[in-house]
Structure 1
Amino acid sequence: MSKIAFVFPGQGTQYVGMGKELYENNEIARKEFDKIFSNLDMDLKAVMFEGSEEELKDTKNTQPAIVAMSLVLEKLLREKGIVPNYVAGHSVGEYAAVGSAGFLTVEDAVKLTSLRGKAMSEVSAQVEGSMAAIIGLESDKIEEALKNVDGIVEAVNFNEPKQTVIAGEKEAIGKACITLKEAGARRAMELAVSGPFHSSLMKPAGEILKTALEEFNFNSATTPLIGNTTAKEITDVDSLKEELYRQSFGPVKWVDTINTLKEAGVTKIYEIGPGKVLNGLIKKIDKELEVVNIEKLTDLD
C-alpha cells in the first residue's frame, strides 16, 4: 500500500503577507495562529502580515514565521482527513516536522523555532561567515575539492544530486567558489544570508539550543520523523533532542531523506508551507514521486 509524507520548507521561502489569507478566511486557521502568537514574546503576527521585507528576512523572525504558517496549513490538511505516514523538514522546516510528528504542541514547536532563530542570529553576528550554492557538480566531488581550500568551508545542504550548498568563513567561501568552478561546477554563487548555517561555525548556537530544549515538554512521536543529519527515522524524545542539537551545526541530507521516504513506500508527498522549493528539489531526486503543494486555501479545496 502506498504511503504519504508531509514535508516542510526552510528559510528563503518567506514573503510579506504570508499566512494572512488563511487567518482572515478560515476560522480554524485563525484560532491556531492566535494560539501561536499568544505563546511568543514577539509580535510575529505584525511581522508576517504587515512587516517590511527587511524585518521578515531577519533570521529570528523568518524561522518562526515559516514554521507557524506550515503548521497551520498542516492542521487544515489533517482536517481534510489526510494523515501522513512520515514527516520531514528541510533545515528549519524540521521544526514544523517536530510539531507535525507530535513531539511538541504546535505553539511550542513555533516557540522553540523562535529560540533557535534568535540563537542563530546572535552567533551569525559574531562570526564572519557565508554560504554558496554549487550547481552542476556531484556532492562527493565538492567534498573532495574542499579539502584543498584554506579555512573553514563545508558542504552542508545536500539539496539534490547536482545542487549542494557550502558554508563557512567568508574568505574561504570565496576561495571555494573559484576552486569548485575549476573542478567542473556550472555555477558557484554566494548566497545573501546572514551566516554560515549548518556549518561547524554555528556550534555555539547548538549549545544555546541544547539548554533551551530542556524547557519544553516533549512527547514520543505519533508519526516517524526522518532526521536531516542522518536521514533515519526518529520516534523517541532523546534521539530527537540529539538531532535538533546536531542539526544546528550539521548537514541537511535532503537527497538521502527523500530516498529514505521512497524506500519506506512513500509515493505521495505533500509540501506544506510557503513556496514550492522542495517540489523542485524532490523532482530532481526522484521523478516518480508525486508532490502536492499546500500553501493557500484553494490548494486545500
Structure 2
Amino acid sequence: MKAYLFPGQGTQFLGMGKDLYKNSHLAKKLFQLSDEVLGFRITSVMFEGSIDTLKNTKYTQLAIYIYSVIKAKTLNNFEPDMVAGHSLGEFSALAAINVFSFEDGLKLVNQRASIMQDICELTHGGMAVVFGLKDSIIEDVCKNDHGVIVPSNYNSPEQLVISGEIQALRRVCFYLKKIGAKRIFILPVHGAFHSPIMEPVQKKFQKIVNKIYFKDSKYPIYQNVTALPVVKSYDIKKNLVKQLTYPVKWKQSIKNMMDHGAVSFTEIGPGNILQGLIKKIKKLYLKKI
C-alpha cells in the first residue's frame, strides 16, 4: 500500500516552486490564485525573496503549504492508500486529498500562522530537539520541572522535540545533557508550538475552522493528535484544532501506517526531511518484528 507524507515548517528553500510555475499550466494557475486569495505576492517571496524573509512564520507556512499541495496536484497518478502530514503538513495533506479546497486551506494556514505569530510575540517560548534518550526519561524530566515544558514532536526513535517557556527549556536541556542526551539542538523558532502556551489561540482558531467546509476523506489520514486513521470531517476538524496544543505523534503515525499495510512512503513537499525519519522508524520497527 502507498502512503504519501507532507512535511512541516523548516523545509523551505529560496526559489521554491519556480520550476513548477514555469513547467505546469495547473501549477501556474494555482500560484496566481494564491496571490489573489492572500492579497499579496507570496510567489515573489517564494521565487525571489530573501531567505530571511522566507524564514518568517507568516511566509514559511504559506510557502510550504502552497508548494506541497501544488506538487501533489501536478503529480501523475496521485492515488494514495493513506496520507499523513507533519504539523503544518497536515493542512497540505488535507488539501491534496480534497477534504477542503486549495483556497480554503490557504485561508486556514494564513490565519493559523497569523495567530501563532501573535501569541509568540506575547510569550517567551522555544523548542529544542533532544537526541539519544528514551521518551519516558524526557517525559519525566519535563513533568518534574516547575515551568511549562512538554514533549511536542515524537519524530523518531532517536529524536524527541520539547517545547515550552524559555527558562524551563534551558533548565530541562541542561539536565538532559547532564544525564546522557547525545545532542540537543535549540530550534530557530520564537514560539512553543504544540504546547499549552498555544492555548490562548485555540478558541480563535476553532472559530476560523468552523467557517470552512470540510468533506469526509476518501483516504484515511493519520492525524498528529491521535496517530490513528481518520476519515470523518468532524473528527478531522477537532484534531486540527487540538494540534495547536497537543504533541505531534509522528513515529506512532508511521508505525500505525506500517501496521495497516503501508510499504512505500512518498514525501511530497520541499526537501526530504521526512525520509530520514522514516528510515529510523522502519529500522527500529522491523528489528522488533
Q: TM-score range by the shorter chain?
A: over 0.9
Picking from 249, 261, 264, the partner of 1:268 is: 264
Alpha-carbon shift at residue 287 of structure 1 (Å): 3.9
Equivalent position amino acid for 1:67 in 2? Y
Cα pair 1:102 1:223 within 8 Å, conserved: no
State the one-letter code of the partner of 1:5. A
Q: SS at 2:208's partner residue?
A: helix
TM-score (norm 1): 0.91
Counterparts of residues 24-173 of structure 1 (less than 5 Å):
24-77=22-75, 80-173=76-169
Partner SS state of residue 144, structure 2: coil
- Between the aligned partners of 1:200 and 1:178, the Cα distance in structure 2 is 22
Q: In structure 2, list runs of 5 or more residues that go unmatched.
A: none
- Cα distance change, pair 225–119 in 1 and its aligned pair in 2 (3 A): same
| Alpha-carbon distance in structure 1 between the residues aligned to 2:5 and 2:32 | 23
> For 1:286, what is the secondary structure of its paired residue?
helix
Whether contact under 8 Å (1:160, 1:285) holds in the other structure is: yes
Q: 1:277 aligns to what?
A: 273
The gaps in structure 1 that reach 5 residues or longer are 290-301
Name the structure 2 match of 1:297.
Answer: none
CA contact (8 A) 2:155 2:251 kept: yes
Residues 47-70 of structure 1 deviation map (CA, whole Å, 9 limit, x = unaligned): 111112121111111111101000
Letter aligned with residue 34 of structure 1: Q
Match of 2:172 in 1: 176
- TM-score, reference length from structure 2: 0.95
Cα distance in 2 for partners of 1:24, 1:82 equals: 21
**Which is further off, 37-46 or 92-101?**
37-46
* Structure 1 outlier segments of 4+, above 6 Å: none
SS class of match (2:38): coil
Matched position secondary structure for 2:202? helix
CA contact (8 A) 1:132 1:188 kept: yes
Pairwise CA distance, 1:288: 9.7
User: How do residues 198-217 of structure 1 correspond to structure 2 at under 5 angstroms?
Assistant: 198-217=194-213
Q: CA deviation at 1:248?
A: 1.1
Whole-Å separation in 2 of the counterparts to 1:207 and 1:256: 27
Is contact 2:143–2:150 with CA below 8 Å preserved after alignment?
A: no
Q: Which moved more, 1:148-157 or 1:26-35?
A: 26-35
Task: Report if aligned partners of 1:87, 1:100 keep a CA contact under 8 Å in 2.
Answer: no
The letter of the residue matching 1:64 is: L
After superposing the two structures, state which structure 1 stretch, 174-183 or 23-32, moved more: 23-32
